[in-house]
Structure 1
Amino acid sequence: RAVDLPTRAAASAVRRRATASSSRVRGRYASTTTTVARARQEDEEDTTAPMTASSSASRSGKIISDNAVHSRYLTVYNRVVEFAAEDGRGGTKTFAYDVVGHPKSDFKFVCVAPFHSRTTTTSGEPEFTIIREYAQGSNSTCVVLPSGGFEVAKHASLEEAATDELHQEAHLVDGTLTKLIADDNPGLLETKWCRNRLIPFLCVDGVQAKEEATRDAEEFHMTHERVTVREFRRMMYGGEMMLPSIVTGQLAIDFLLKGGYLTHDDLN
């Protein structure tokens, strides 16, 4: 026991130091937590912070000129834009850009995801109708959803443009058509150097048209087919599908999952 006393004393001292250290750690943690909470509160309360040079508003320029230099399927513009210099001395910088778009379509186009619920398919699985056509950029076959421009002289609405493309490219009519973005959304920009905006739609349970609509001359090689949702999802990210169709497809899947038309098992 005489030998044990120093050992016990040492152990007691270790425990006291550990307790004190733990208290200091807890104190520091509590202090840090309070500081973070206070900082968050101050951030939330401060709604009048000045806009910085890196804010999105400061990235807009003044269009000096916007001249069409080529027009066929697309119109190419030589756009000259002036920006305020970043030195704060009131100077400017000017740049010329290539910008493309479809002015005859009011720079709008539609893409429609034709969905067939499991109760209407022979496979018993939910399906999408896809289009296979020629892609001039890659000089190969690509996969798309029915897509086309909003023709101002022909279409009274974007919905009419969507139903026209369904009939023309997928040979489908009727069904329930839903716009997949809000009414106050101007459309999704196709790319940063393009003026065109995508308006995505979903059509649920369209039926085969009794008469096929006439396609454009360059669409002579276009075909359509049905695929299961899991096949469609693989195509979306497999390198064959065009970006507007990928975006429309993903928005459609999200909508269908939320509405109970699909389950996550249908995707895998």
Structure 2
Amino acid sequence: MNCGRGPAPATMVRCRQCSASVAAPAGARAVQCAQCCCVTRVSGAGRQLSVMRPIPNFGGGRGKKRAVLVGIKYTKTRACELRGPINDVKCMRYLLTERFGFAICPVDSFQQGPILDDEINQAIVRPLVHGAKLHAIVDACHSATVLDLPYRCTFSKQYGCLRWMDERPLNGACKGTSGGKAVLISGSSNGKTQMSVLPEPNATIGALTHSFIKALECEPRTTYGHLLTSMRTTMRAGAGNCSLQGPVGCSIRKVANFSGVEEPQMSSACKFDINCEPFYM
């Protein structure tokens, strides 16, 4: 209780990414570092998730498939404003609607501060029952744990191939599904985010997004392992000219690595044979 003594003092929190000190206002559950943009939970400030409301009925879709596409430009942030995320969304929309029969859900809600990975896991991963499938493609910095999944598949320098890593929390908390399938395709980086303002604001696309779409255009019927390998080959070729199909891809000329992602990686609610399991959304 505050008896007329003014606002409570801010709490200093150490960033989990770069260890910088960040001031957390009283009552804040998470803070974002001004240096590396990483979001860190404030100790003891957990939040109860609200009861999930019925999913709205978005018309125009074929079957039961739905997709949410997000492109963040960091508008009006001077040197940090990005010029490719909107094209990422447009190209992904074309791929999903034309090739995979998805309906696009026009939802935009950022009203109550940063969304933490364990909240995302509890909200959309844990409820997945048998037969339900979730794929998340995230082309952004600090994206490897966005779904807080227990297993990660990445290229091992020691073995020279893709290998699974067990990242289940030591406290025994369950981060899997309720019988469904959850897969995240994101990127690993050296932590050096490459943000730049390019002279062609409407003619760029993110490197991870470009490699994902290109891999599926070249081989629609592929396995998870082959998909990651194809994406890695394209990304290692470096930024360059865009060669995507469709009305949107034809207008994009450059591939830019805004997020500093070096290689693709995959996280999952459970381990599986990536070289035999077919990729299907």
Structure holding more strand per residue: 1
> Could you say which TM-score interval applies, normalised by the shorter chain?
under 0.3
Which of structures 1 and 2 has the bigger CA Rg?
1
Structure holding more helix per residue: 1
TM-score by length of 2: 0.22
